[in-house]
Amino acid sequence: MPFLSLLRLLLLLLLLSLLRLSLSRPPKGVLIDCGATAGSIIDNREWLPDTGFISTGTAKNLTTPDLVPILSTVRSFPLSGKARRKFCYDVPVYRTGKYLIRTTYFYGGINGNDLPPVFDQIVDGTVWSVVNTTEDYLGGMSSYYEGVFVAAGKTISVCLAANGYTDSDPFISALEFVLLGNSLYNSTDFKSYGLSLVARHSFGYNGEIIRYPDDQFDRYWEPFGDDIPTVASVRNVSVSGFWNLPPSKIFQTELTVGQPELMEIQWPPASLPNSTYFIALYFADDRDSSSEFPRVFNVSINGVPYFHNLNVLRAGVSVFANLWPLSGPTKITLSPAAGSTLGPLINAGEVFNVLLLGGRTVTRDVIALEKVKKSFQNPPLDWNGDPCLPRQYSWTRVTCSEGSRIRVIALNLSSMGLSGSLSPSIANLTALTEIGLGNNNLSGSLPDLSPLQRLEILHLEGNELSGEIPPSLGNIDSLREM
Ligand SMILES: *[C@@H]1O[C@H](CO)[C@@H](O)[C@H](O)[C@H]1NC(C)=O
Ligand SMILES: *[C@@H]1O[C@H](CO)[C@@H](O)[C@H](O)[C@H]1NC(C)=O
Ligand SMILES: *[C@@H]1O[C@H](CO)[C@@H](O)[C@H](O)[C@H]1NC(C)=O
Ligand SMILES: *[C@@H]1O[C@H](CO)[C@@H](O)[C@H](O)[C@H]1NC(C)=O
Ligand SMILES: *[C@@H]1O[C@H](CO)[C@@H](O)[C@H](O)[C@H]1NC(C)=O
Ligand SMILES: *[C@@H]1O[C@H](CO)[C@@H](O)[C@H](O)[C@H]1NC(C)=O
Ligand SMILES: *[C@@H]1O[C@H](CO)[C@@H](O)[C@H](O)[C@H]1NC(C)=O
Ligand SMILES: *[C@@H]1O[C@H](CO)[C@@H](O)[C@H](O)[C@H]1NC(C)=O
Ligand SMILES: *[C@@H]1O[C@H](CO)[C@@H](O)[C@H](O)[C@H]1NC(C)=O
């Protein structure tokens, strides 16, 4: 008997320690320290240097003293005139995996200008947001951006792009990918949309940012201590329980009013551009439910009813809306229902801008064009990320089709000073109608182009290509200029 119970105790201890292990296991994903020459372990999590994920840009060390290690290096990308150019990280992912992507920026004066440049960031074929770190930088802080995207392929590209308002070299300090659980934000149709974080706050809290290990996915919950609880068509709102798995720490503080009276908060703090948003609000009561003292209230946003008769219990509840239109300042009003004897309360909130995804170029064309790129010794510098999308950032001299199935229809690389060879994979770009490679320095043999049945124009003159013009070219009926 004593033996058995000892065994049982041991088993129990083992189970407990396994449990603790799994609870404290760092989130799955990739942490990239941009511009670093070596990896590092910080808070038990491994950061990788970025050299395996990008083939362009320059690593730089900041001279600002006392920086946390991740901010002390950046990768920066040379601006060339007013050209719209993108510079991309390609990060391997699980296909259909849902990822939280976080980009972090700290300028540290690396370009010589007093103020940091303003530029765009792109995920696959979608413009994610403008990166304007000016205000944070003047306040001595780094800036971060967070989004949620589902992988459509085996890699996700995250690009920085120069725009009309970019006045010096774009740069980045860190790039993080965290694999999210299936249930997180699952009311969003991630085939068509991505989420770009606007605000995530723990209400009534004034400590350090809440993150891993409190948040198992290392989301950042910033303090929001509005000390003036000011006074604040039901569209697709539902109660979800806690599919979004918020950290329990956010329920330790709240904004509330003592009496059963109206409570208003201006949240999120910033004025919002006219768009549609995903909003999740989190509530949990700190006492057991009691019919004697119910805490029931209505929630409205900018005067539009959001949820009726919300009965907040100890178990907690979150209320979310998928595509909620907002514009300008936002006011959240909690109004006690008739007969409620306690004032309303709120613990936390998240707001994301809902981004309509721009799509991706047809995978077969992407693979073929990547091989063509590899066969050149000096491909154009902006040939990275998605070849066609976003449209304003398509690859130099690459023309793509319109519509939903996006294909490469023309390559006009004449007089680009290209050397190297021409990959046979060019024949897999079956939507091509034009190939212009004239006046370059390409050598090697001309591949079989006969699968290109839509080819109309082919220029190869002024190269060192060897061998005969394959007779199979004669089988392309559409070919009219050579
Ligand atoms: C940055 O600092 C690291 C470590 O001190 C050094 O190895 C690296 O060469 C430096 N990089 C540049 C671009 O100066
Ligand atoms: C960037 O932010 C600063 C400070 O908020 C603002 O003054 C500036 O106009 C912004 N720049 C661009 C290009 O949006
Ligand atoms: C989201 O996840 C929860 C928990 O796994 C599940 O009950 C719910 O049906 C899911 N919702 C959608 C829209 O997939
Ligand atoms: C609510 O969502 C459903 C399906 O997602 C959609 O058909 C409907 O138009 C939406 N209603 C409003 C008011 O947005
Ligand atoms: C926001 O944009 C929509 C569509 O573009 C428009 O119908 C609506 O009036 C705008 N709302 C505000 C407050 O500007
Ligand atoms: C709460 O919403 C219900 C349903 O729309 C409404 O009848 C009630 O008057 C509202 N209560 C308050 C205090 O606004
Ligand atoms: C290719 O580009 C060159 C230079 O931009 C231009 O002169 C030429 O007309 C283009 N050719 C085709 C077939 O579009
Ligand atoms: C063309 O694509 C097919 C699959 O789509 C692949 O098997 C083949 O190897 C490709 N050809 C070249 C020359 O890359
Ligand atoms: C073309 O390549 C040859 C050797 O491969 C080299 O000598 C020559 O300088 C190159 N010409 C140009 C214009 O790049």
Cβ atoms within 10 Å, residue 20 = 10
Q: Are residues 267 and 373 in the same domain?
A: no
Q: What is the pLDDT of residue 167?
A: 92
C-alpha span between 33 and 62 (Å, rounded): 13
For residues 134 and 31, state if they share a domain.
yes
User: Has residue 190 been placed in a domain?
Assistant: no
Contact present, 381 and 395 (Cβ < 8 Å): no
Which listed ligand is nearest to 183 at the C-alpha? Answer: 3
**Given a cut of 80, is residue 231 above it in pLDDT?**
no
Domain membership flag for residue 15: no
Q: Which pLDDT value is given to residue 5?
A: 43
Per-residue pLDDT band at 255 (split at 50, 70, 90):
confident
70 and 148 part of one domain: yes
DSSP label at residue 428: G
Q: 401 and 340 in one domain?
A: no
Residue 165 and residue 269 in one domain = no
The three-state secondary structure class of 369 is helix
Distance in angstroms (rounded) separating the CA atoms of residues 25 and 13: 18
Look at residues 351, 364, 335 and name the one whose alpha carbon lies nearest to residue 261: 335
Nearest CA to ligand 3 atom 8: 183
Q: Does 242 lie in the same domain as 174?
A: no
The best mutation among 243, 245, 322 to test binding of ligand 3, ranked by most ligand atoms within 8 Å of the C-beta, falls on 243
Last residue of a domain, one of 330, 356, 382: 356
CB 314 within 8 A of CB 326: no
Query: What is residue 287's predicted lDDT score, i.e. its pLDDT?
Result: 65
Closest residue by Cα to residue 226 from 262, 193, 191, 255: 255
The answer on pLDDT for 38 being more than 80 is: yes
pLDDT of residue 288: 60
Decide if 166 is inside a domain: yes
If one counts every other C-beta atom within 10 angstroms of the C-beta of residue 82, the result is: 10
Query: What local confidence, expressed as pLDDT, does residue 317 receive?
Result: 84
Residue 481 belongs to a domain: no
Considering the domain architecture, whether residues 165 and 203 belong to the same structural domain is answered as no
Indicate which CATH number applies to the domain containing 166.
2.60.120.260
> What pLDDT score was predicted for residue 448?
87
Pocket test of ligand 7: the residue of 398, 399, 411, 412 to mutate, having most ligand atoms within 8 Å of its CB, is: 412
Q: What is the CATH number of the domain that holds 470?
A: 3.80.10.10
Q: Quick one: CA dihedral 279, 283, 289, 295, positive or negative?
A: negative
State how far the Cα of 51 lies from the Cα of 41, in Å rounded to an integer: 17
Instruction: Provide the residue type at 291 as one letter.
Output: S
Nearest CA to ligand 7 atom 10: 412
Buried b (16+ CB within 10 A) or exposed e, 143-155: bbbbbbbbbbeeb
Tell me the pLDDT of the chain averaged across its residues: 87
> Domain ends where: 356, 383, 408?
356
The average pLDDT across 17-43 equals 79
Q: Is the pLDDT of residue 238 over 50?
A: no
Q: What is the pLDDT of residues 335-365, one digit of tens each?
A: 998 888 888 989 999 999 999 999 899 999 9
Q: Are 178 and 30 in contact (CB under 8 A)?
A: no
Q: Name which of 180-194, 241-255, 465-479 the model is least confident about.
A: 465-479
Q: What is the model's pLDDT at position 129?
A: 96
Closest CA to 203 of 29, 345, 407: 345
Question: What is the rounded CA–CA span in Å between residue 290 and residue 313?
Answer: 9
The identity of residue 444, as a single letter, is G
Regarding the beta carbon of 271 and ligand 5, being less than 6 Å apart is answered no
Ligand 8 in contact with 425 (CB < 6 A)?
yes
Average of per-residue pLDDT across 20-24: 49
State the residue for tokens 């809306």: 321
pLDDT in tens, 382-395: 898 999 999 999 99
Task: Specify the number of domains making up the chain.
Answer: 3
Give the mean model confidence (pLDDT) for residues 265-281.
Answer: 95
CA Rg value for the chain: 27
Beta-bridge partner residues of 305: 300
Establish if 436 belongs to a structural domain: yes
Task: Provide the pLDDT confidence category of residue 289 given band limits of 50, 70 and 90.
Answer: low
pLDDT > 90 in the chain, percent:
66
Pair 213, 140 in one domain: no
Pocket around ligand 4 at a 6 A CB cut-off: 235-236
The answer to whether residues 131 and 29 belong to one domain is: yes
- Residues spanned by the domain of 210: 197-356
Helices and strands (H, E) in the chain, number of each type: 3, 31
Instruction: Taking residues 96-124, report their average pLDDT.
Output: 96
Cβ atoms < 10 Å from Cβ of 142: 18
Together in a domain, 266 and 324: yes
Q: List the CATH number of the domain containing 229.
A: 2.60.120
Higher pLDDT among residues 333 and 295, named by residue: 333
**pLDDT tens sequence across 113-126:** 999 999 999 999 99
Segment among 114-123, 296-305, 390-399, 465-474 with least mean pLDDT: 465-474
- 146 found inside a domain: yes
Which atom of ligand 8 is nearest the CA belonging to 424? 13
The pTM (predicted TM-score) of the whole model is 0.86
What does DSSP say about strands 408-412 and 434-436: parallel, antiparallel, or unpaired?
Answer: parallel
- 212 and 71: one domain? no
| 191 is a domain residue | no
Query: Do the bridges between strand 317-328 and strand 272-283 make them parallel or antiparallel, or are there none, so unpaired?
Result: antiparallel
Cα–Cα distance measured from residue 202 to residue 447, given in angstroms and rounded to the nearest whole number: 61
In a shared domain, residues 423 and 338: no
Q: Which residue, 356, 372, 397, sits at the end of a domain? A: 356
Does a structural domain hold residue 192? no
3-state secondary structure 139-176: CCCCEEEEEEEECCCCEEEEEEECCCCCCCCCEECEEE
Which protein residue has the closest C-alpha to ligand 8 atom 3? 428
Whether the CB-CB separation of 116 and 131 falls below 8 Å is answered with: no
Helix (H, G, I), strand (E, B) or coil at 67: coil
Q: Is the pLDDT of residue 15 over 80?
A: no
pLDDT reported for residue 311 = 86
